[in-house]
Structure 1
Amino acid sequence: MTSQHPTAIRPGQPWLDTSGNRIQAHGGSIIVAEDGRFVWYGENKEFTTAGSPTWHWGVRAYVSDDLINWEDRGLIIPPVLDDPTSPLHPEQMMDRPHILRHPVSGRYVCWLKIMGAVSTQSSTVLEADDLFGPYRIVREGLRPLDMDAGDFDLVTDPTDGKGYYYFERVHSELICADLTTDYTGVTGYYSTHFPQPHPPLVREAPAYFRRNGRHYLITSGTSGYLPNPSEVASADSYHGPWTVLGDIHPSDTTRTSFRSQISSVFRHPGKKDLYIALGDRWRPDLSPEQSDRRELYAARFTGRISHEDFVTALGPALDTTASTQTADYVWLPLRFNGEVPVIEWHDEWSPEDFE
């Protein structure tokens, strides 16, 4: 944005904090602090350049009164630099922090996806007495339900405080697992959804929200940092069964979710019916035509081409070479046709446009 005090959200445009620096809160979510301010937190990618082994530089947070102007509050979970085996080391490939506030203890519980080696993805769980930290690790190397856990979302029921954990069982299906009462683990009760044979068909990046008592999940196809069509499903309960409603971006003729991937959906507590999809445009340098390489993922995971040929064909879009420090954000409001949510493009918009 060109102004230090912008009055609108401009999806896909560089977003600066109140100090004039690029906001670094990728794979992000919003939580309302105890003082009523909005807190946007996510992966800090400020040092993640093309070819760099630095996947992240901790979890960064910003505060705002209007969801437009954001003040940098710094790292709430800093990287661990002196231990290469720590799940918080910049090369251990931490993704998608999600934080819940426990309704009884008041503690903040943060789950992190740790890729490390793609074949052994795991979770790390931290706790803090204050939203802004310090956080302490209480579990690491966690393979919930003895499964490799990929992209995920955390949910708290607003009536009984029960927690749920939606995650991609890597390259397979989506899992809904009940959290333990302290939110730091899973009970063992779970359900399975959206089974698919291979990427890019496998559903990842689950983003949950609830409206009028109905449950919704937005998911993405699986093709690294290349965007995919987003699919939305609805259900009567957390564990489904889920009914697929189709592409939530039906007006996007490129079928790349406006070149983004949604990480979470935030319901504005001060508006009647405002839900905001928080998305990342991981590769703003790629055009929609360049982004559409999903067929390569299908060929790779069905064995039609070798991994070496896959890497060669994919070229600079390969995950490990992406310069995500310049990734942009695509935040858009949801519109509802009855019970069917739709996301349409807006060059700019403001929460003040809504009642």
Structure 2
Amino acid sequence: MRAQVKGSPEKSKEIVPGGVWNDVDGNYINAHGGGVLSYGGKYYWFGEHRPDKKFSTQVGVTCYSSTDLCNWKYEGVSLSVSDKAGSDIEKGCIMERPKVIYNAKTKKFVMWFHLELKGKGYEAARAGIAVSDTPVGPYRFIRSGRVNPGIYPQDMTAEEKATVWDEEEYKEWWTPKWREAVNKGLFVKRDLQSGQMSRDMGLFVDDDGKAYHIYSSEENLTMQIAELTDDYMGHSGKYIRVAPGGHNEAPTMLKRNGMYWMITSGCTGWAPNEARMFSAPSIWGPWTQHPHPFVGKGAEKTFGGQSTFILSLPGDKYIFMADIWKPDSLMYSGYIWLPIDFDKSGKPVIVWKDNWKLSF
């Protein structure tokens, strides 16, 4: 993908995974860990504004718009950091993985994102919420917090809920004893009153308009899927755990022919790793793990990227989106967008392409 060049319209219809992605003004697109909203005949790409050298959030969440998914116009900062000391989104906090969904009932655009408080590293593990009357914004920050405090997941057994854990016995990680405790809800119980941790996250809106928050929880060891309230502004209290102890993050989801598919990554910091794929006949499971869906050179490391979003398009079309992280200068982290195909059994297949054109 590149800025449109006069006299070269063909290039403006081409997506180049891993290439240099500029907006229509020729500036590098700075929208990492993002997602795309389709609304009113346009696409809106929201992502993290990453600084050239520093790590923490200095600007906020940026927005770009397009009518063809190839040529992107910079729309500005949709959610800005705050200059107010002590604000949850004070400049220097960490804002990651922003996703925006539209609520047809309230006619509001709702943004969720992973938030870490300034100067606290990654210990806060919160979800942040902001809202706007227009897709571009500006978005108004509402609040942040952990997920479903005081509520057990639906798929924890009565025995697991009743178990009392002595955390002193489980200070040493990765032992068989510790793994068994994690699987049975060691960290769920630890965080029950404060709420479940929420880091790398995504949103998914189902056919019936119900929306779900999908996030890495329990010290990044277990994925959780939590139903949102009808206004998309909070959690309903209904949630489950997926692949306990599996160490998944960067969740993405699509639904096709009644089957839910989720692609995640492992947890290896900025380094790429082998992606994971899961399926379920219901959002509430049971979830089954499959081999990763990637085909081509570098498939075992997700082509050097990490999943961030799956864009569903009319005509049974889907685009897998990923980031190529460059920790030395996160601003210039790259983008991978690839079409998703399906094999005869209906499983997603993502084949590497040096470049490709949209066929819709």
| Structure 2: distance between partners of 1:38 and 1:2 | 16
The answer to whether structure 1 residue 350 and structure 2 residue 353 are counterparts is no
Residue from 158, 166, 174 that aligns with 2:223: 174
Q: Name the amino acid aligned to 1:172.
A: L
Contact kept? 1:165, 1:179, Cα under 8 Å: yes
The answer to whether structure 1 residue 207 and structure 2 residue 252 are counterparts is yes
Residue from 203, 207, 210 that aligns with 1:162: 210
Gaps of 5+ in 1: 284-320
Shift in Å at residue 183 of structure 1? 1.1
Change (3 A) 1:39 1:219: same
SS at match of 1:258: helix
The answer to whether structure 1 residue 325 and structure 2 residue 331 are counterparts is yes
| Structure 2: distance between partners of 1:262 and 1:254 | 13
Residue from 187, 191, 196 that aligns with 1:147: 196
| Structure 1: distance between partners of 2:240 and 2:148 | 13
Could you report, residue by residue, the CA deviation over 1:279-312 in whole angstroms, capped at 9, with x for unpaired residues? 11012xxxxxxxxxxxxxxxxxxxxxxxxxxxxx
Change (3 A) 1:350 1:14: same
Which residue of structure 1 aligns with residue 94 of structure 2?
A: 93
Larger displacement relative to structure 2 (325-334 or 113-122): 113-122
Contact kept? 1:245, 1:340, Cα under 8 Å: no
Contact kept? 1:229, 1:249, Cα under 8 Å: no
TM-score with structure 2 setting the length:
0.80
| Structure 2: distance between partners of 1:263 and 1:56 | 21
SS at match of 1:86: coil
Compute the RMSD of aligned alpha carbons.
1.8
Shift in Å at residue 226 of structure 1? 0.9
Shift in Å at residue 254 of structure 1? 6.1
Moved over 6 A (4+): none
| Structure 1: distance between partners of 2:207 and 2:220 | 31
Matched positions, count: 304
Which residue of structure 2 aligns with residue 37 of structure 1?
A: 42
TM-score with structure 1 setting the length:
0.81
Contact kept? 2:3, 2:21, Cα under 8 Å: no
Shift in Å at residue 2 of structure 1? 6.4
Change (3 A) 1:56 1:351: farther
| Structure 2: distance between partners of 1:158 and 1:350 | 28
Could you report, residue by residue, the CA deviation over 1:39-85 in whole angstroms, capped at 9, with x for unpaired residues? 1111111x241xx25435211111111111111111111222x2243
Shift in Å at residue 87 of structure 1? 3.1
Bigger-Rg structure (1/2)? 2
Which residue of structure 2 aligns with residue 308 of structure 1?
A: none
Residue from 11, 16, 21 that aligns with 2:22: 16
Change (3 A) 1:2 1:203: closer
Change (3 A) 1:103 1:254: closer
Gaps of 5+ in 2: 6-11, 150-194
SS at match of 2:291: strand
Change (3 A) 1:2 1:210: closer
SS at match of 2:284: coil
| Structure 2: distance between partners of 1:227 and 1:67 | 25
| Structure 1: distance between partners of 2:357 and 2:241 | 37
Change (3 A) 1:89 1:115: same
Which residue of structure 2 aligns with residue 311 of structure 1?
A: none
